[in-house]
Amino acid sequence: MRDGEDRILYIGKAKVLRNRVRSYFQSGSGHGHSPRIALMVRQVCEIEFIVTDSEAEALALESNLIKNHQPHFNVLLKDDKKYPYLCITWSEAYPRIFITRKRRFRSPLDRFYGPYVDVGLLRRTLGLVKRVFPLRQRPQPLHKDRTCLNYDIGRCPGVCQEKISSDDYHRTLRQVAMVFQGRNEELLQLLQEQMERYAERLDFESAARVRDQLQGIDTLTADQKMSLGDSSVSRDVLALASDERVAAVQLFQMRAGKLVGRLGFTADAEATDPGRILQTVIEEHYSQVEPVEIPPELLLQVPLPQQALIEDWLSELRGRKVKLAVPQRSQKADLIELVLRNASYELERARRASEQNLLATEDLAQLLELPSPPRRIEGYDISHIQGSDAVASQVVFIDGLPAKQHYRKYKIQSSSIRAGHSDDFMAMAEIMRRRFRRWAQAKAEGADLRELRRSAGSALHTGGLNDWPDVVMIDGGKGQLSAVMEALRELNLDEDLVVCSLAKQREEVFLPGAKEPLESEAEQLGVQLLRRLRDEAHRFAVSFHRQQRGERMKRSRLSDIPGMGPKRIKELLAHFRSIDAIQLASVETLAAAPGLGPGMAKVVWEYFHPQDLEAAPELENEQPLELAG
């Protein structure tokens, strides 16, 4: 399914294509769709189809297309940044390895391992791996022309100066990947054979290095893995626990009788049976892993709708037989019970968090006397150092949770706010005018704001007039709040928006026009929600301010000269060694420098000598007469 700009919205398969498509578009079907599907249906402009010879081919084709195109509406599994992934950027000459909560494929070669439920265990494992194997430690080199301390102590192979070839570094990282693929036994055997070969060649230094790696992996296996007392068969065990809205899925990775990994997923449970959810998890997870990571056996809590088809598909991916089973008794059933119990704990934790957020929004509605709990809440803050590099942040919470895709940051544009002169009131008023300018224009043109707010629909929208907040919170006291309300009165929106401010000292909530703060307690749920919003706005503003300040400090004064680009600045500094030397140089000396001609030399000289600009033309007029004489 494609939209009006030919972007792929959704990729799916069906035995009877007509019935599948009609389920989205038949009359009255929109009332049964989830908000995600309803939003997708409104954007579909074209449907393209491909015919295959069998269901197995359709499944494989669907998996490949989803992997390559990553359509937005194909993700049944929620990527809510709850569980982290481990990423290895195999597409780079010297791949990086890091933990991330965003699974976005920049290259088909990059791999994501996870998602891991226990982020603490993942960080400890990665830290131990980086001590055992010499790996790239920094995303960017610390020095341009030499290695750092990590190379001297053996933690890094000298990637920044290419002390190791790309092929050799890839070979090391492939061994590291085996740890996160649950293939520790294979890795131990591989390293044991490698150590023996080094010893036979009398290369005892290399043999000792491999010995240390073996000891490190033994420590990792002994301290961080749980033995389940089973045979040497490798298997994955899947089970889920669900309520009427959300399903929590757990996948236990067992290798040679040991639990080496626990992965977690969440999925929409509305109008979807458990077997369908497990099948979707299997399709999405195993289409992203290496064939060697697929075990010979999968134990399932419930049968899959297309279990024979999935079994054939996994067997084809692995290159060997893969068996799917639903155990009913004995030790395998106990494993299912173990995974189910963990899934229940995850679901209960998610449910408690959801209920806590609901109670917080309800308490905030009572505190601010709103007719219903606020869904979209926006928080604003200003950050600067005595007026320099002044910026502002806008953060958004939806249903009590941060919605980072809606965050915005602003550079303060007012000329009155500069280094040595700050005005938070003026800065906050400027941000309000810029934020709600489109809404004010729509109201001035006769639009009904209530109707616009009702038609905004889903929070997934990112464009158009669909970002009206239920509550706006300002970080500050009565002064900041008064400045904001004055700006909103200029826009004729002061009667439409619900605005409050949160003062830091006593965590007091102020409303426009009120001399005294609201009667509230710092620890009540609604105020805690505002505090989380305020702290997030402060964090986001400070990080943006530091970024702007860092960029300014890295900029050279030469960047302000018209026509001076990075290459020309680099050549000029390499020739004169310092900006002071450039400032003292004459026009003739500047013109002799590489990359500068007479015209550009004059521009540079005039930049550093603005007080001599009146005398400079006379000198230029006298020079030709002197030459002619």
Q: 323 pairs with which residues across the strands? A: 297
CATH number of 557-628: 1.10.150.20
**Backbone angle region of 474, left / alpha / beta, with phi > 0 → left and psi within -120 to 50 → alpha:** beta
Does pLDDT of 614 surpass 60? Answer: no
Within 10 A of 61 (CB to CB), how many other CB atoms are there?
14
* Pick from 492, 485, 407: nearest CA to 445: 492
Contact 530, 502 (CB under 8 A): yes
Residue with tokens 């970024």: 547
What confidence category does residue 554 fall into, taking pLDDT thresholds of 50, 70 and 90? Answer: low
Mean pLDDT score, 258-277: 79
- 463, pLDDT greater than 50: no
* Region 30-54 average pLDDT: 78
pLDDT of residue 461: 44
If you average pLDDT over residues 327-332, what whole number do you get?
A: 83
Calpha distance 291→310 (Å, rounded): 15
Q: Is the pLDDT of residue 628 over 60?
A: no
| pLDDT recorded at residue 380 | 94
Domain positions in the chain:
17-53, 235-351, 374-454+465-551, 557-628
CB count, 10 Å around CB of 555?
Answer: 11
Degrees (nearest 5) of the Cα angle 501, 503, 508? 85
Per-residue pLDDT tens over the stretch 147-171: 888 888 778 888 888 888 999 889 8
pLDDT band at 485 (very low <50, low <70, confident <90, very high): very high
Does pLDDT of 238 surpass 90? yes
Question: What pTM was estimated for this model as a whole?
Answer: 0.57
Using pLDDT thresholds of 50, 70 and 90, give the confidence band for residue 52: confident
Distances (CA, A) of 71 to 10, 74, 104, 115, 379: 6, 6, 11, 19, 31
Lookup result for tokens 């509550």: 471
Is a pLDDT exceeding 90 seen at residue 403? no
pLDDT value of residue 622 = 42
Comparing 473 with 567, the larger pLDDT belongs to 473
Residue 479 has pLDDT above 90, yes or no: no
The region of weakest confidence among 52-56, 80-84, 584-588 is 80-84
Q: What is the pLDDT of residues 134-151, one digit of tens each?
A: 888 887 788 878 888 888
Q: Is the pLDDT of residue 627 over 50?
A: no
Burial of 65 by CB count in 10 Å (0-12 exposed, 13-18 middle, 19+ buried)? middle
Return the ∠ at Cα 485 (arms to 480 and 489), rounded to 5°. Answer: 150
- Tracing tokens 């710092």 back to the chain, one arrives at 522
Query: Same CATH fold, 374-454+465-551 and 235-351?
Result: yes
Range 598-605 average pLDDT: 85
CATH class of domain segment(s) 374-454+465-551:
alpha beta
3-state SS string over 398-429?
Answer: ECCEECHHHCEEEECCCCCCECCECCHHHHHH
Q: What is the pLDDT of residue 17?
A: 86
- The 10s digit of each residue's pLDDT in 95-108 is 888 888 776 666 77
pLDDT number for residue 462 = 40
My answer on whether omega of the bond before 469 falls inside 30° of 0, hence cis, is no
* Winning range, highest mean pLDDT, from 192-196, 278-282, 353-357, 418-422: 278-282
**Which CATH number applies to 235-351?**
3.30.420
pLDDT (average), residues 268-278:
79
Segment (H or E) for 265: strand 258-268
List all residues 6 or more positions away from 171 whose beta carbon is below 8 Å from its beta carbon: none
pLDDT for residue 619 is more than 50: no
Rounded (10°) CA dihedral 583, 588, 590, 591: 160
pLDDT at 620 over 60: no
Distance CA 271, CA 416 (A): 57
Which H/E stretch holds residue 239? strand 235-242
pLDDT class for 555, splitting at 50, 70, 90?
low
How far CA 483 is from CA of 30, 396, 491, 533, 541, in Å, comes to 44, 21, 13, 20, 19
The answer, yes or no, to whether residue 295 has pLDDT greater than 70, is yes
* 210 vs 589, higher pLDDT: 589
Residue 30 has what pLDDT?
45
